[in-house]
Every structure is written in C-alpha cells, then in structure tokens.
C-alpha cells in the first residue's frame, strides 16, 4: 500500500523528465537543407550593427543554404572568446584583433586558411603588413577585414578662436598650439578646454617610441622598451602633461574616451581612429571638426595601425560554409578596406575626412608584437600612468615596467 | 526485534538520503568537485587553451608567489582595505541598529531607506557610484560648493581604493545592521530597568549591558566582514575595467587571480593563489576566534 503511490509519483516525474529532455533536444538541430554558422564580434556603434546586418542578409541571399547567426560580445571580448574556446563553445567565425592574434595562432585553435584559398582569390591584393599580422610560419589564419590608423582630429572653431590657421605639422607645433588652445574662461581654476586629449596607453603611444628608435621586444620576445629612444619619445608626452599642463586624460575631465572628450569640447585636439568619425557625427552633430595626418615626431612621420580579421574556429563544424563567409567579408569592410584595389576604388584617398587615415597606412606601425605583448601592455600602462601623474620619474617607471613584465614572462614560460 | 529495528533504521536512512540527494549532487558537482580540482591544479602547470595538458611541478607555483611583486601589492591593498572597512562597517551597523531600536518616529521609513543599498546588486551600485565619482559629477560639485578640495576619485591611485571603500561601507553596513537589530531586540527590557533603578545613565547602560551581550553577534559580523572584504572583486573590477589600476592601486587578490586565470590563462598559478587566499582567511578567522574566546 505504501509503495504504490511512491511508484506512481516516481514514474510521473520520470515521464515528465523524459518529455522535457526530448523536447529540448528536438529544437536545435540543423535541418539538411540549411547550415547555420555562428559569427561573433564586438560593436563600435549601433550604426555598424545595421551595416553588418545588411551585409549578412546579402550574403544569405547569395548563399541560400547558409544561415548566419550573429552575436555581439561587447564586454571583455577576448576573455569571453578565450573562455569559449576552452569550453569548445566558441563561434565558427569571429573577429580577432591583430594584437591578440599571436597567442591564439600559437595555441592552434584557429583553422589555417591556406587550403581554402584558391587561384581566384588574390591574396596579394591585401596590404602586406596587415596580412602578415595574421600569418604564422607560412600559414594564414585570418583575412584582415579592415584597418584603422590614428589621425589628428581638431576642433575648427577652437582653432579659429585661438587664431591658429592650420593643423600642426610637427610635434613641436602641436605643443605650441596646445598651449594656445588651453583656456580657463571663467578663471575658476578648472580649465574648460585642454589643447590636447591624451590616451596614456602603450597601444596609442608606441609610435612616439619608434620615432626615436625605441622598440618593444627583443628576439626572445622579452620586453625591451627601456631604451633612451623610448625615453625621449615618451618624455615629450609627459612634459606636455606635467610642465605645459596643456593635455588631459579623459578621466581628468570626466569623459571615458578620447573621442568623447573631443566631442564635448573639453579637448581641442585628439589622436583617434576612423571609428571616431561616425561616433562624432552621430553623437555630437554640431561639432565642426577636421582631420589631419599625425604631426611628425623627430622629423619622422608615424602613426599606429590597428587591424581586425575574421578567423575560423578550428573546431567549427561547417568549415566550408564558414570560409564562404570569410571570403565574402574580405570584399566588404566597415572602416578602411584592406585590399589595395578596393581602397583606391572607393576613393578614400580623396575624401577629406578619411584621407589622412589612408595616407597613414604607408608609414604606420602595426599594433602587434608577438604573444607577450598583452603582458607587456598591462605592466607598461600601470607604470606609465604613475609617471604621468608625477608619482615617479619616467625613467623609473619604464625600468620597473620592463623588469616586472619580464619577470612575469619568464615565470609563465 | 533487532531485525525490525535495523530495517526501519535503514529505511529511514534511505528516505533521508534520497531527500538530501539533489542537494548533495548539486553541491558535490558545483562546490566540492571544483575545489578538489583546484587543489590538483595548484600543483601543476596547466595549459588549457588548445590541447589540455598538465605538468606536475610540485610547489613551484607557491615559490613563484613569494617573488611576484603584484601578489604583494594585491595583499597589501586587500589588507589595507580590510583593516579600514571592517571596523567602520561594524560600528556603522551598530549605530544604525541602535537608531532603529530606539523609540523615534518614522522608524519604518528609516528601516526601508537603510536597507535599500543591500538589496541593490553590487554591479548596479558600482555603476551609480562611478557616475557620482566622475570628475564633473555629484560628489566633486558638492565638495566644490562647500569650498573643499576636489579629487579625481576614479583616476588618482592614492584615492581610488578609498572610493571603493566608501562605496562598500555604504552598501554592506545595512546588512549587518539587520543582524544587530535582531540581537538588540533580544536583550530583555528588565535588565535596562534594573540598571536605571540602580542609577546608571544611558551611556553606562550601553557599555555595561548592551555591548557585552552583543559580543557573539559582533564576533559573527566581524568574521563575516573580514571574509567578505578579503574577497573583494566585482567593485574593483568595474572600477578599473579589469586592470587593477591606476598603477595597481585597486588590485585585490581575487582580481589578481582573475587576471592570471582568464587573461593570462595560467590556471595552475591562479589556483595556487586561490589556495593561498583561502589559507590566509582561515588563519585570520582562527586568530579572531582565539581572541574572542579568551575574553569570554
């Protein structure tokens, strides 16, 4: 008598469990007519998402048996991707920044694309330095979809008010202009406008170091930036911040990025990338700004280049379909296209806003330097900020940063 | 007779265990198993991205810890944080509980207002405070209005950790206040009446009656406070966008573990650090227990 109701309830729950399991497993199977591949990336602004969706829909029309599921990962993109790669749950195709590429290439989680590239696909059309960023030991792991360099953004109205006629051509001119452009109109001790907006990160300052012959790593990929060349280059930045007091970090004025600081009128000049152009046009439509090439440092032209590629997950199930997507994307691009033919065709060189970026591609330093760069970046940024706010001298900061970066690199080996 | 007793005992045991089974399975899989695995990982060099591989290296991870500068900085930051936050938090909780326990009007409203920070998620609170701490934000405008110096609460290394402390005290004190409130209401009125008859003033009553009777609760709150503050992660993560800066000033031990585990993918070292932290917390708790027991 006692056992019967127990058996009944057990069988009822067992049946319900079975039902739930069957129903959930029925939902997400690929039907034989269609393949679904997953694409992940980050999103710089909502505009970009719309353009991306348009391109994806066009791709689906051209390839009727492939459906693309797009997912945006905005926060801590690389952490999420790495964790998913470990858990075998990564998307089939995803964005990869050149900066992070060496680590993933070395660990063998990306599919080499050499076998998919056939004669019709012209690899030589890609800007060689950008393509090289995604190649390791003769194998190509990604096709760079677009790139951006840094250029000087300046506020035309602020320039008029300060009586400056043209954008500064050399770094000394930039410092002089900054002093003129730093104003405290109501004399309350807090400046409303700084001449120059500063991004105190290695990713933005590296070209200052190379202008004086500095470099980041040595042959064994240890940190090697503590040289007199790097010191000279970075000293210019520190002096402008501390002595001239004509530059400011975004956090000093309550902004989160350089573009925001520039848009709010708190900085009259910033060095930013092509991503800033749609952001400024949408968020600060009344701002009158123009772009120019980065002023020469130590008589040399220089700027940074950042590029992003589409890469394929080695564990992707439908590799051929994923390749179709990558190949299709190699023809489009949302920043500046990496194919020389497309760049010329789309007339970027003649567009006044984009021209300085396109010209910068010739002499830009690409932001990538082996798999130890992320570690070097953390240590450098930490100490550089401390030197910037005057806690220690730049010499001490760089020496400490190099030593602690190398300690970490050594112990991780 | 014995056989019957045994059967019933066994059946009850089975019934008991089968009721506990879901919890045992869940706790076992999600708590006990990961801890054992972490113990194992701490003694290996682990490669987790790409092919999974382990290499037994004994105590090398722990030796590395001793010479790692960032570990020392993280420990120092965390220790500074604990020594300032826990006393202030406890005292504030006691004060608030005393206010709520007294016979002032509007007690219910005060109770709701005081408890509000605790029910808000810490991530949301951090974001709200980041707005307030903005260089052009509420706090600086308020200070400038009063003629006091303003600070760069988010960007200045000397101040950043203090900003987090302020935010944390404000958000966790109410939780401990509720515990103190419950304990206060447990103290019988007759003790206070007897003391008043003997001629004790309110302050004497507080020191001689209230505090001693609250000792076990205080011990509990201090221990929980220390365990909680040692594990500070989400606020310093959001504040520094994961970097622990500026200049390692908001780097706490758990944030360091996170960076080693998920950014550098050095799981073995991160597991060793986690074990070290667990050890430190355990030692501190035992020390406290010794002190409180002695006074009892």
Summarised one tens digit per residue, pLDDT across range B20-51 is 999 999 998 999 999 999 898 888 888 887 77
Please answer yes or no on whether B136 and A109 come within 8 Å at the CB atom.
no
Query: Nearest CA to A145 among A338, A364, A343?
Result: A338
Q: Are residues A238 and A317 in the same domain?
A: no
Q: Are residues A310 and A294 in the same domain?
A: no
For residue A27, tell me if it sits in a domain. no
Q: Are residues A109 and A225 in the same domain?
A: no
CA B54 to chain centre: 33
Helical packing angle, A394-412 and A373-388, nearest 10°: 160
Q: Within 10 A of B132 (CB to CB), how many other CB atoms are there? A: 15
Q: What sign for the dihedral angle of Cα A203, A261, A300, A124?
A: positive
Q: Are residues A271 and A178 in the same domain?
A: yes
Q: Are residues A248 and A376 in the same domain?
A: yes
What share of chain A has pLDDT > 90, as a percent? 1
Q: What is the C-alpha separation between A206 and A225, in angstroms, rounded?
A: 10
Residues of chain A contacting B244 with CB distance shorter than 8 Å:
382
Q: Which domains does chain B have, with CATH numbers?
A: 2-60 (no CATH), 63-295 (1.10.3720.10)
CB-nearest to B247 from A252, A375, A391 is: A391
Q: What is the pTM of this model?
A: 0.79
Residues of chain A contacting B156 with CB distance shorter than 8 Å:
389
For residue A26, tell me if it sits in a domain. no
For residue A85, tell me if it sits in a domain. yes
pLDDT over threshold 80, residue A329: no
Q: What is the C-alpha separation between B13 and A239, in angstroms, rounded?
A: 76
Question: pLDDT at position A316, please?
Answer: 86
Q: Residue A231 has what DSSP assignment? A: H
Note whether ipTM > 0.90 here.
Answer: no
pLDDT over threshold 80, residue A411: no
Number of A to B CB contacts under 8 A, please give it: 75
Q: Within 10 A of A412 (CB to CB), how many other CB atoms are there? A: 15
Please answer yes or no on whether A412 and B246 come within 8 Å at the CB atom.
no
Q: Does B7 touch chain A (CB under 8 A)?
A: no
Place of tokens 């020469």: A296
Residues of chain B contacting A76 with CB distance shorter than 8 Å:
242
Residue A321's domain spans which residues?
A: 35-149+306-366
Convert the pLDDT of each residue in B150-203 to its tens digit. Answer: 887 877 777 888 888 888 888 888 889 989 989 998 888 888 888 888 888 888
Place of tokens 């360099």: A149
Question: pLDDT at position B272, please?
Answer: 92
Q: Does B71 touch chain A (CB under 8 A)?
A: no
User: Number of structural domains, chain A?
Assistant: 2
- Full 3-state SS string of chain B: CHHHHHHHHHHHHHHHHHHHHHHHHHHHHHHHHHHHHHHHHCCEEEECCCCCEEEECCCHHHHHHHHCHHHHHHHHHHHHHHHHHHHHHHHHHHHHHHHHHCCCCCHHHHHHHHHHHHHCCHHHHHHHHHHHHCCCCHHHHHHHHCCCCCCCCCCCHHHHHHHHHHHHHHHHHHHHHHHHHHHHHHCCHHHHHHHHHHCCCHHHHHHHHHHHHCHHHHHHHHHHHHHHHHCCCHHHHHHHCCCCCCCCCCCCHHHHHHHHHHHCCCHHHHHHHHHHHHHHHHHHHHHHHHHHHHHC
Residues of chain A contacting B247 with CB distance shorter than 8 Å:
382-383, 385-386, 391
Residues of chain A contacting B246 with CB distance shorter than 8 Å:
382, 385-386, 389
Question: pLDDT at position B93, please?
Answer: 92
Chain A residues near any Cβ of chain B (below 8 Å): 76, 78-79, 82-83, 85-86, 104, 107-109, 249, 251-254, 374-375, 378, 381-383, 385-386, 389, 391, 404, 407-408, 411-412
Q: Are residues A141 and A161 in the same domain?
A: no
Which chain B residue has the Cα nearest residue A248?
A: B155
Q: Are residues A341 and A389 in the same domain?
A: no
- For B260, half-sphere exposure in the C-beta direction (CA atoms, 13 angstrom radius) is 29
Please answer yes or no on whether A404 and B243 come within 8 Å at the CB atom.
no
**Residue A376 structure tokens:** 């070097």
For residue A98, tell me if it sits in a domain. yes
For A59, residues 6+ apart whose C-beta sits below 8 A from its C-beta are A66, A68, A324, A325, A328
Min mean pLDDT across A144-148, A199-203, A272-276 is at A144-148
How far does B190 lie from chain A, in Å, by closest CA?
54
For residue A20, tell me if it sits in a domain. no
Q: Are residues A75 and A161 in the same domain?
A: no
Q: Does B135 touch chain A (CB under 8 A)?
A: yes
Pairing of strands A93-97, A303-312: antiparallel
Q: Are residues A143 and A160 in the same domain?
A: no
For residue A16, tell me if it sits in a domain. no
Residues A260 and A250 sit within 8 Å (Cβ to Cβ): yes
Please answer yes or no on whether B67 and A407 come within 8 Å at the CB atom.
yes
How far does B57 lie from chain A, in Å, by closest CA?
13
Average pLDDT in the A149-175 region?
A: 88
Residue A341: CATH number of its domain: 3.40.190.10
Question: pLDDT at position B88, please?
Answer: 94
Question: pLDDT at position A24, please?
Answer: 65
A332, A350, A366 — which closes off a domain?
A: A366
**Residue B255 structure tokens:** 């944030």
Which chain A residue has the Cα nearest residue B251?
A: A382
Give me the residues of chain B with pLDDT under 70, please: 1-6, 294-296
3-state secondary structure of A261: helix
Residues of chain B contacting A253 with CB distance shorter than 8 Å:
135-136
Please answer yes or no on whether A391 and B265 come within 8 Å at the CB atom.
no
pLDDT band at A27 (very low <50, low <70, confident <90, very high): low
**Residue B115 structure tokens:** 């408890």
For residue A169, tell me if it sits in a domain. yes
Please answer yes or no on whether A249 and B155 come within 8 Å at the CB atom.
yes
pLDDT over threshold 60, residue A96: yes
- For B:18-47, CB contacts with A below 8 A are none
Q: Are residues A343 and A222 in the same domain?
A: no
Q: Are residues A215 and A333 in the same domain?
A: no
For residue A190, tell me if it sits in a domain. yes
Q: Does B137 touch chain A (CB under 8 A)?
A: yes
Q: Are residues A291 and A356 in the same domain?
A: no
How far does A150 lie from chain B, in Å, by closest CA?
23
CB-nearest to A83 from B50, B137, B262 is: B262
């Amino acid at each position: 008598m006692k056992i019967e109701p127990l058996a009944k309830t057990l069988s009822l729950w067992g049946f319900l469990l079975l039902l739930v399991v069957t129903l959930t497993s029925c939902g997400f199977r690929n039907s034989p007519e269609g393949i679904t591949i997953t694409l992940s990336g980050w999103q710089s602004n909502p505009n970009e998402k719309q353009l991306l969706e348009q391109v994806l829909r066009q791709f689906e029309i051209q390839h009727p048996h492939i459906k693309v599921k797009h997912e945006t990962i905005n926060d801590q993109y690389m952490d999420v991707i790495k964790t998913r790669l470990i858990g075998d749950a990564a998307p089939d195709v995803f964005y990869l920044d050149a900066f992070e590429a060496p680590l993933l290439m070395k660990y063998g989680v990306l599919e080499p694309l050499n076998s998919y590239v056939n004669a019709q696909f012209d690899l030589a059309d890609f800007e060689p330095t950008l393509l090289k960023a995604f190649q390791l030991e003769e194998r190509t792991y990604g096709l760079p979809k677009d790139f951006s360099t840094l250029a000087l953004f300046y506020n035309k109205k602020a320039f008029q008010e300060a009586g400056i006629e043209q954008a500064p051509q050399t770094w000394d001119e930039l410092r002089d202009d900054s002093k003129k452009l730093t104003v405290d109109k109501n004399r309350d001790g807090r400046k409303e406008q700084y001449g120059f907006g500063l991004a105190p990160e290695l990713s933005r300052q590296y070209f200052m170091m190379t202008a004086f012959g500095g470099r980041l790593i040595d042959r064994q990929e240890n940190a090697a930036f503590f040289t007199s060349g790097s010191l000279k280059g970075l000293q210019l930045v520190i002096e402008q911040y501390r002595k001239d007091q004509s530059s400011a970090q975004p956090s000093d004025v309550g902004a989160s990025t350089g573009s925001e600081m520039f848009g709010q009128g708190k900085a009259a000049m910033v060095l930013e990338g092509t991503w800033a152009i749609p952001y400024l046009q949408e968020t600060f439509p009344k701002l009158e700004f123009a772009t120019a090439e980065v002023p020469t440092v130590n008589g040399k032209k220089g700027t940074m280049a950042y590029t992003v590629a589409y890469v394929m997950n080695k564990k992707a199930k439908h590799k051929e379909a994923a390749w179709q997507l990558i190949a299709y994307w190699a023809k489009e691009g949302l920043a500046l296209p990496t194919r020389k033919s497309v760049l010329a065709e789309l007339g970027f060189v003649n567009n006044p806003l984009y021209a300085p970026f396109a010209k910068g591609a010739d002499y830009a330093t690409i932001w990538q330097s082996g798999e130890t760069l992320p570690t070097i970046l953390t240590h450098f940024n930490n100490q550089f900020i401390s030197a910037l706010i005057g806690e220690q001298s730049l010499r001490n900061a760089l020496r400490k940063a190099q030593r602690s970066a190398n300690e970490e690199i050594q112990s991780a080996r | 007779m014995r056989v019957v007793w045994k059967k019933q005992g066994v059946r009850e045991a089975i019934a008991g265990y089968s009721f506990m089974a879901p919890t045992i399975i869940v706790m076992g899989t999600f708590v006990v198993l990961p801890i054992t695995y972490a113990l194992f990982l701490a003694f290996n060099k682990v490669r987790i991205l790409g092919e999974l591989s382990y290499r037994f290296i004994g105590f090398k991870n722990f030796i590395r810890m001793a010479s790692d500068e960032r570990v020392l900085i993280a420990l120092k930051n965390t220790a500074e944080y604990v020594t300032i936050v826990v006393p202030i938090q406890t005292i504030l909780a006691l004060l608030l509980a005393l206010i709520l326990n007294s016979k002032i009007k509007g007690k219910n409203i005060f109770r709701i207002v005081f408890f509000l920070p605790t029910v808000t998620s810490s991530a949301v609170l951090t974001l709200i405070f980041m707005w307030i701490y903005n260089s052009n934000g509420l706090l600086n405008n308020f200070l400038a209005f009063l003629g006091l110096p303003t600070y760069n609460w988010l960007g200045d290394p000397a101040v950043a950790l203090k900003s987090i402390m302020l935010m944390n005290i404000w958000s966790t004190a109410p939780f401990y206040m509720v515990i103190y409130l419950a304990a206060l209401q447990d103290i019988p009125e007759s003790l206070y009446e007897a003391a008043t008859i003997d001629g004790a003033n309110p302050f004497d009553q507080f020191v001689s009656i209230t505090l001693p009777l609250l000792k076990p609760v205080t011990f509990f709150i201090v221990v929980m406070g220390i365990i909680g503050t040692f594990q500070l992660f989400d606020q310093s993560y959001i504040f520094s966008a994961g970097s622990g800066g500026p200049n390692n000033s908001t780097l706490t031990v758990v944030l360091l573990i996170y960076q080693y585990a998920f950014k550098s993918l050095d799981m073995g070292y991160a597991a060793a650090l986690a074990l070290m932290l667990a050890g430190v917390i355990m030692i501190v708790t035992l020390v406290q227990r010794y002190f409180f027991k002695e006074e009892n």
